[in-house]
Structure 1
């Protein structure tokens, strides 16, 4: 290997800043002069993997191993190319060879765990789990080992271990976008976090990676569910109106109409309190990103605008039932039903669709 080649040095510098296409070109120039440089071939395989050219990565890794059969990094690049390129069984064999050459290397164990996980026929999920544990044992500060452990623990329903693995990854690298996003997803799946907390997690993750469409979609989903909750405020207001306006009197309850002014004012005050407390509990912890997401959801999702419209409709009818001194109970009952029935039917239909999915 030529460690003094200016072309190779430029290629490595380009890889450091993520300019893989230019790095691949420089490596090609270097290898045209030194075709037996196993290290340069291995770096070329890494460039190809990062660019998604898995066939090129396999060919470069093969050339690296031709020049040096004991190049463990070349085996790892070949394993990555095979796994990502749809040949996971061969990927496990390549990773096992890297482990044989470097038995104390945590990255080799990480790659082997990932390869086994992607094709259980090359081993078992339990083996992938054990290999990931070994990677963590060999190097507790290697983030990849914790990620491998998280993935296999998640696949085998060990949610507590999966969460601990992500927390350890964030301890090592607090700004790791993948770990933050996966931790929020895990909490959402296990219902271990409330919607405002999830919105905060997804919003902070999205601020680190604004181009992450999956996190943006999940943030919008959480914000959409928060918007839907406003319909519960309207239903509660309608219940207050029905009780205090004596819409459906039962037993020994007062039945005389109109309802005294003081009672009506008290009911309207309770409705205001429902909205103030409800909105405060839901939205007080939302970061700016989630509030921006709320505006985006209202623009893009028609169901969210319907939810807001229904919440305002139900609340307006509740106020209409309570504020005037009604003397005809039939009108009161009609107004309450017109406000409540569409809300309940829409919520039931949406819940049925979600359960079907």
Structure 2
């Protein structure tokens, strides 16, 4: 195997760090010195494909120069396939290139994995072009099965490489095989516990399981974020779980309104003599006791038991999102009505009835409406 020039090695390291603008001139200088350096052409193609404003046409030109020097250079063929995939209208050509990679390097797992990742798409494009743009479920299942076999071969050849499992997961997910997809997620997380997509999928599954309460869901997302703090989907999941927690405070406020109404005997029942108004001061103050107990047990103690990260996120989601503020505003309004009902020495029940319905109706009407509301 030909030794890689030090300048190409430096450029490869820069590409690995995502510093494409520094790697490209270095490779250009090397190729000016030796235009027959195949690895320099391969790295130049990779650099041009990795840039923020990728240049697939120029990458394709670089791979063609490399393959002109050695048509059986496996790395050049792989970059050539990637360039063809990025160039509009030439995606189907990648199958032939990758099958050549497999022929030349039958023990190289990446050729199988990359072909598995693209083959069902290529088949779907070809089938759709021949059938008015439609792909039947039966045909798609056939294409996915063909790709799945290639992905399994990649996993057999390199069971420690995550990409093969990622491709196999995508195929299983598109085929609707949730059992296999979950098993592949577990395998991915065994190899890479910080894998953001797999971690997010498994966390969402656990958080959405029947019977999982908002507190448990928030804890699951907080634990996952400790492992993968940059995952946007898990931040969104934690925000949603935090919102579910905040929605619970409205129920506490409505219970307080109900207790206040019961204390005033707002609604007559047959065979029951209603209390005389106004209520004594001691009774009005005593009516605050069950309300305080509700908030201490139902809100304060629950809040104190939450993970620190969940508590911080609760405060954050109130600042950042509209609906959490609406929820807290509704709870505050209901509590204001409850306090008015209990602490004002009412002499008749007409105004308290109006206050009761004003505290109950607006909040109760929106509890079901905003159940699935985006925070």
Q: TM-score range by the shorter chain?
A: 0.7 to 0.9
Q: Which residue of 2 aligns with 1:164?
A: 183
Indicate which of 113, 122, 137 corresponds to 1:110.
113
Report the CA distance between 1:82 and its aligned residue. Answer: 4.1
For residues 215 and 305 of structure 1, what CA distance do their matches in structure 2 show? 21
CA contact (8 A) 2:11 2:24 kept: yes
Number of equivalenced pairs: 353
User: RMSD between aligned alpha carbons?
Assistant: 3.6
Check if 1:224 corresponds to 2:227. Answer: no
Distance 1:167 1:179 in 2: 8
Runs of 5+ unmatched residues, structure 2:
126-139
Task: Name the SS for the 1:36 alignment partner.
Answer: coil
Deviation track 1:140-186 (CA, whole Å, cap 9, x = no partner) reads 22111222222222223333332332222121122233432343345
Distance 1:263 1:104 in 2: 84
CA–CA distance in structure 2, aligned partners of residues 54 and 305 of structure 1? 46
Local SS of the residue matching 1:350: coil
TM-score with structure 2 setting the length: 0.76
Q: Which of these residues, 53, 63, 66, is aligned with residue 65 of structure 2?
A: 63
2:319 corresponds to which of 290, 299, 314: 299
CA distance in 1, matches of 2:78, 2:187: 24
Q: SS where residue 194 of structure 2 aligns?
A: coil
Match of 2:355 in 1: 335
Q: After TM superposition, give the deviation of residue 126 of structure 1 in Å.
A: 3.2
Larger Rg: 2
Distance 1:220 1:93, change over 3 A: farther
SS of the residue aligned with 1:97? helix
Task: Report the CA distance shift for 1:77/1:196 in structure 2 as closer, same or farther (over 3 A).
Answer: farther
Q: Structure 1: which 5+ residue stretches go unaligned?
A: none
Cα distance between partner residues in 2 of 1:292 and 1:113:
43
Matched, 1:152 2:154: no
Shift of 1:27: 2.0
Q: In 1, are the aligned partners of 2:7 and 2:26 still within 8 Å (CA)? A: yes
Q: Does 1:312 align with 2:332?
A: yes
228-237 vs 243-252, greater mean Cα deviation:
243-252
